[in-house]
A and B are shown apart, each in its own frame.
Chain A
Amino acid sequence: MYRIINKRDLTDITKLFEVDAPLVARRAQAGHFVMVRVAECGERIPITIADYDREAGTVTIVVQEAGKTSAWINALEEGDEFVDFVGPLGQVAPMADSGHVVLLGGGFGVAPIHPVARDLKEKGVEVTSIIGARSEDLLIFEDEMARVSDRVLVATDDGSKGTHGFVTDVLDAMIEDGESIDEVIAIGPMPMMEATAKVTRPHGITTWVSMDPIMVDGTGMCGVCRLTVGGEMKFGCVDGPFFDGHQVDFEEAHKRVKMYESEERIAYERYQNNEKVCQRGGGCDG
């Protein structure tokens, strides 16, 4: 069991959890993810790590409510435990050695971009972070990002903070202004990552996106996370999560994540209506 040591409300629907998982913390690096299960009847879901503390033996994740499992996780309190917390899985984030890297974090995707920024900064890379959300009250990690970036730019969809628009609009403006950018890394909702790749493609700027396909085991066993990248089949779990954004078949990836949309709705409604919600460690027959 993996105990929650610390819980912090980042927004009404976004929570941060520091979880006791020494083995995961020991090898965790920026870009890695964990497979998490809330209870015996829960599903296994991938969550990209937001931070780790090797000495304390803890791993930090940030979860935004979007369905049953994320709502259930966010209802957990300090002292509660995850039944499973497996990792670190996947490949480490691409790390440039020099130059100017622009990081884009959208929504709760700002959390996992944070350790990427920190590691790049430590290597002496110039880091510009563009972070965004639908509105100011959903914006997270602004101070944290400021500490590990040379510059932080903010965009909100409704204009309540920073640029009125998307993070990609800010990126586009930077490019138009003739700023020299060596590499772009984007973590966030799939449309935002696709838009990022679209903005950088004409300029030939290397762009990494962190794909978040459906997973079951997270170790390369089932293949549900398969993506087409540069015309080849790749597994999000073991080959990713980072892929060349200009090579990813986003159209296919969009369709594949919708496979269980109707089931996800049923599960979420049942959860909200408190209907036959699985109990921790219990069976599912009753």
Chain B
Amino acid sequence: MADRKDDRWVKTPIAQQPVEARIKNFNEVALGYSDDDMKREAARCLKCKNPKCEEGCPVNVPIREFIEHLQNDDVEAAVHSILSTNSLPAICGRVCPQEEQCELVCVLSKRGDPVGIGRLERYVADYGIENNIGMETVGESKSHKVAVVGSGPAGLTAAGDLARMGYQVTVFEALHVPGGVLMYGIPEFRLPKDLVQREIANLEAMGVEIRPNVVVGATLTIDDLFEEGYAAVFVGSGAGLPKFVGIPGENLLGVYSANEFLTRINLMKAYQFPECDTPVKIGRSVAVIGAGNTAMDSARTALRSGAEEVHIVYRRSDQEMTARIEEYEHAIAEGIQFHWLTNPIEFLGDEDGWLRGMRCVQMELGEPDASGRARPVPIEGSEFEMDVDTVVLALGTNPNPLVPRYTPGLETESWGGIITEEETGHTKREGVFAGGDVVTGAATVILAMGAGKQAATAIDEYIQKKYGSK
């Protein structure tokens, strides 16, 4: 790859907060493209006749079309172009793994860097928000009501698409603000919460009703929703159930699930304690267990919350790490220390129950396991102690069990995922559709959005078939 900045094979870099500054604040790290950056990057697109990038997008963004508008300096048209298929572009432009999707198949990547599609999407989405350009309904207003359970990426996307088709959509959210993982999970420095709320406000402007503080499965059941006259229900309640490791000392004070740690800080704003009431306790030396995006988020959050040193401890090697390369690089730049092939076997506590250290064992890679990745095997006699006083377990999450537990006829896999028809998201219960992490287990924002989109189409077909087209 060439290294000259003006080279046509090189992606226009995105401005970032300098490391020294950003590790002391929660402001966004990537600052976005300037107008000139945008123009330079848009000009790199070859406008392929058969744009491969669009096939790589789970929500079918008309990528070639929106970039062409940018080349013609018509940003507003580009906004409408993206909004025609994607209700949450400011979010996607920031957290999608473009390198595995649209940008992976960009023809330019055969010789150099792909077009910075994600960065351009972010530019366009932010322009849309600043200039109050919202989505427009295209379908005729329909009398049927659709309920959406969960206001994370899957639910919001399904809601947006259904509202665009003209349905009356109500989104039920268990927490006090909508957004799901976009609010409680992904940190402010990667996805500003104000932007999430602005994109949700766009959905509301289209007629989507959001009802926070309703726990479906507890406050209302799916059966109640049908009784209230909803013609169909989409369940996008996510993978909210944290996994624990099952080793001694897991309940010591100072051992958090990533969900708890991030929820306290992102949703409840514990970094503002005591101005805000929810506290969080972060010690001098923090170990995050796991190496996915949530682990990177937890590590970088701990650093910004005052930890002197932050370690990522992973039982496999860097090759098996599931985090995006961009997040990994940010973490490295910020001084997070990585310990590959290292597995905790015991958390050590003092007499008051506080974590004071962690016993680990070195691992080596053996034969591939069920996931296709090399199985980590402990090396005998390699145990050692790490001096840490806070541990965050970022080991993944399982589907939230509340909805399936209280919905007769909804079948689940042994690990909790709701069973659906692949093409439509239709569950075993008539009129109930599901998608996102509650079906697949923890995955990405964009895959959940893709599932929400697919289900919205299927719900439209289902309602039309059952009730006619009004």
Instruction: Please give the residue numbers on chain A whose beta carbons come within 8 Å of chain B beta carbons, in ascending order.
Output: 23-24, 27, 37, 41-44, 68-69, 83-89, 216-217, 219-224, 226, 228, 233, 238, 252, 255-256, 258-260, 263-264, 266-267, 270, 276, 278, 284-285
Closest chain A residue, CB of each to CB of B212: A84
The answer on a CB contact under 8 Å between A256 and B253 is yes
The answer on a CB contact under 8 Å between B277 and A89 is no
**Using Cβ atoms and an 8 Å threshold, which residues of chain B touch A267?**
273-274, 277, 279
A-B pairs, 3 with minimum CB distance: A255-B353, A222-B260, A263-B279
The answer on a CB contact under 8 Å between B278 and A87 is no
Q: What is the CA–CA distance of A37 and B214 in the complex, to the nearest angstrom?
A: 14
As a 0/1 sequence over residues 396 to 408 of chain B, the CB contacts with chain A under 8 angstroms (1 = contact) are: 0000111000000
**Using Cβ atoms and an 8 Å threshold, which residues of chain B touch A83?**
176
Q: Taking A41-B269, A220-B402, A223-B260 as contacts, is the C-beta distance between A259 and B253 under 8 angstroms?
A: yes
Closest chain A residue, CB of each to CB of B257: A223
Other-chain contact of A217, B263, B277, B352, B401 (Cβ < 8 Å):
B263
Which secondary structure dominates chain B's binding surface?
loop
- B384 touches A (CB below 8 Å): no
Closest chain B residue, CB of each to CB of A23: B219
Q: What is the CA–CA distance of A150 and B256 in the complex, to the nearest angstrom?
A: 45
**Using Cβ atoms and an 8 Å threshold, which residues of chain A touch B352?**
255, 258
Q: What is the CA–CA distance of A68 and B278 in the complex, to the nearest angstrom?
A: 11
The answer on a CB contact under 8 Å between B259 and A219 is no
Tell me which of B27-35, B239-247, B302-310 binds A.
B239-247
Shortest CB distance B179–A (Å): 14
Shortest CB distance A177–B (Å): 39
The answer on a CB contact under 8 Å between B277 and A84 is no
**Using Cβ atoms and an 8 Å threshold, which residues of chain A touch B219?**
23-24, 27, 86-88
Q: What is the CA–CA distance of A163 and B244 in the complex, to the nearest angstrom?
A: 45
Closest chain A residue, CB of each to CB of B353: A255
Shortest CB distance B177–A (Å): 10
Other-chain contact of B275, A69, A252, A285 (Cβ < 8 Å):
A285
**Using Cβ atoms and an 8 Å threshold, which residues of chain A touch B276?**
41, 278, 284
The answer on a CB contact under 8 Å between B244 and A233 is yes
**Interface-centre pick from A23, A44, A221 (highest chain B CB count, 10 A):** A221
**Using Cβ atoms and an 8 Å threshold, which residues of chain B touch A276?**
274-275
The answer on a CB contact under 8 Å between B281 and A86 is no
**Interface-centre pick from B272, B273, B277 (highest chain A CB count, 10 A):** B277
Closest chain B residue, CB of each to CB of A24: B219
Contacts A220-B402, A222-B260 given; 10 further ones with Cβ under 8 A? A69-B277, A83-B176, A86-B174, A88-B219, A219-B402, A220-B240, A221-B240, A263-B273, A278-B275, A278-B276
**Using Cβ atoms and an 8 Å threshold, which residues of chain A touch B251?**
226, 228, 233, 252, 256
The answer on a CB contact under 8 Å between A216 and B263 is yes
**Using Cβ atoms and an 8 Å threshold, which residues of chain A touch B242?**
221-223
22 residue pairs A–B, Cβ–Cβ below 8 Å? A23-B220, A24-B219, A41-B276, A88-B219, A216-B268, A217-B174, A219-B240, A220-B240, A221-B240, A221-B241, A221-B263, A222-B259, A223-B257, A224-B257, A226-B244, A228-B251, A252-B251, A260-B279, A263-B274, A267-B274, A276-B275, A284-B269
- B354-372: which residues lie under 8 A (CB-CB) from chain A? none
- B340-359: which residues lie under 8 A (CB-CB) from chain A? 352-353
Instruction: Please give the residue numbers on chain B whose beta carbons come within 8 Å of chain A beta carbons, in ascending order.
Output: 174-176, 184, 212-215, 218-220, 240-242, 244, 246, 250-251, 253, 256-257, 259-260, 263-264, 268-269, 272-279, 281, 352-353, 400-402
Q: What is the CA–CA distance of A255 and B255 in the complex, to the nearest angstrom?
A: 13
Q: What is the CA–CA distance of A252 and B253 in the complex, to the nearest angstrom?
A: 10
Q: What is the CA–CA distance of A150 and B136 in the complex, to the nearest angstrom?
A: 65
**Using Cβ atoms and an 8 Å threshold, which residues of chain B touch A85?**
213
Q: Taking A69-B277, A219-B174, A252-B251 as contacts, is the C-beta distance between A89 and B263 under 8 angstroms?
A: no
Q: What is the CA–CA distance of A226 and B245 in the complex, to the nearest angstrom?
A: 13
Other-chain contact of B257, A41, A222, A264 (Cβ < 8 Å):
A222
Closest chain B residue, CB of each to CB of A259: B253
**Using Cβ atoms and an 8 Å threshold, which residues of chain B touch A278?**
275-277
The answer on a CB contact under 8 Å between A23 and B260 is no
**Using Cβ atoms and an 8 Å threshold, which residues of chain A touch B175?**
217
Q: What is the CA–CA distance of A285 and B272 in the complex, to the nearest angstrom?
A: 8
The answer on a CB contact under 8 Å between B241 and A43 is no
Shortest CB distance B418–A (Å): 16
Q: What is the CA–CA distance of A228 and B215 in the complex, to the nearest angstrom?
A: 26
Q: Taking A88-B218, A285-B275 as contacts, is the C-beta distance between A256 and B353 under 8 angstroms?
A: yes
The answer on a CB contact under 8 Å between A219 and B263 is no
Q: Taking A23-B219, A221-B240, A233-B244 as contacts, is the C-beta distance between A252 and B281 under 8 angstroms?
A: no
The answer on a CB contact under 8 Å between B176 and A37 is yes
Shortest CB distance A161–B (Å): 35
Q: What is the CA–CA distance of A165 and B86 in the complex, to the nearest angstrom?
A: 66
Shortest CB distance B370–A (Å): 24
Closest chain B residue, CB of each to CB of A39: B277
The answer on a CB contact under 8 Å between A255 and B253 is yes
**Using Cβ atoms and an 8 Å threshold, which residues of chain A touch B215?**
86-87, 89, 219
Shortest CB distance A236–B (Å): 12
**Using Cβ atoms and an 8 Å threshold, which residues of chain A touch B281?**
259-260, 263
**Interface-centre pick from A89, A220, A222 (highest chain B CB count, 10 A):** A222
Q: What is the CA–CA distance of A156 and B382 in the complex, to the nearest angstrom?
A: 58
The answer on a CB contact under 8 Å between A44 and B274 is no
**Using Cβ atoms and an 8 Å threshold, which residues of chain A touch B400?**
219-221
**Using Cβ atoms and an 8 Å threshold, which residues of chain B touch A41?**
269, 272, 275-277
Q: What is the CA–CA distance of A284 and B277 in the complex, to the nearest angstrom?
A: 9
Shortest CB distance B213–A (Å): 5
Q: What is the CA–CA distance of A284 and B246 in the complex, to the nearest angstrom?
A: 38
The answer on a CB contact under 8 Å between A216 and B274 is no
Q: What is the CA–CA distance of A224 and B279 in the complex, to the nearest angstrom?
A: 13
Q: What is the CA–CA distance of A37 and B277 in the complex, to the nearest angstrom?
A: 10
Q: What is the CA–CA distance of A224 and B263 in the complex, to the nearest angstrom?
A: 11
Closest chain B residue, CB of each to CB of A227: B251
Q: What is the CA–CA distance of A57 and B260 in the complex, to the nearest angstrom?
A: 32
**Using Cβ atoms and an 8 Å threshold, which residues of chain A touch B279?**
260, 263-264, 267
The answer on a CB contact under 8 Å between B260 and A224 is yes
The answer on a CB contact under 8 Å between B277 and A86 is no
Q: What is the CA–CA distance of A87 and B218 in the complex, to the nearest angstrom?
A: 7
The answer on a CB contact under 8 Å between B244 and A42 is no
Other-chain contact of B259, A44, A221, A256, A284 (Cβ < 8 Å):
A221
The answer on a CB contact under 8 Å between A219 and B218 is yes
**Using Cβ atoms and an 8 Å threshold, which residues of chain B touch A44?**
176, 268, 278
Q: What is the CA–CA distance of A285 and B275 in the complex, to the nearest angstrom?
A: 7
The answer on a CB contact under 8 Å between B272 and A284 is yes
Q: What is the CA–CA distance of A69 and B276 in the complex, to the nearest angstrom?
A: 11
Closest chain B residue, CB of each to CB of A2: B213
Q: What is the CA–CA distance of A233 and B245 in the complex, to the nearest angstrom?
A: 11
Q: Taking A41-B275, A228-B251 as contacts, is the C-beta distance between A84 and B218 under 8 angstroms?
A: no
Q: Taking A43-B268, A43-B277 as contacts, is the C-beta distance between A238 and B213 under 8 angstroms?
A: no
